Amino acid sequence: MIKNKLQVTNHLTQITNVLVIGCGGAGLRSAIEIKKSGLDVIILGKRPKTDAHTVLAAGGINAALGNLDKEDTWEQHFIDTYLEG
């Protein structure tokens, strides 16, 4: 016998091809590509949308732009971010 069994009585069922967990920049960017590829996508976040770190970034989002400069790799981006932190 299972003790303290959780009874879920009020729930919503939705069907999608892909579930993205996290609605910051990474999740939203992924969802755009998924939708563009023709799949349905649902994005799930656990906190209010104004509370993602992406919303708090005030200085513009930094990124490695290897398409513009071959030396601007994710490894270099990591080093820059780590040193600044």
Are 46 and 27 contacting, i.e. CB atoms less than 8 angstroms apart? Answer: no
Please, which of residues 18-37 interact with ligand FAD by CB under 6 A? 21-27
Nearest approach in angstroms of CB 3 to ligand FAD is 26
* Pairing, β 41-44 against β 18-21: parallel
Annotate 17-44 with DSSP letters as a single string.
Answer: SEEEE--SHHHHHHHHHHHHTT--EEEE
Nearest approach in angstroms of CB 79 to ligand FAD is 15
Please, which of residues 43-62 interact with ligand FAD by CB under 6 A? 44-47, 52-54, 56-62
Nearest approach in angstroms of CB 52 to ligand FAD is 4
Residue with tokens 């009585």: 9
The residue ranges that bind ligand FAD (CB under 6 A) are 21-27, 44-47, 52-54, 56-62
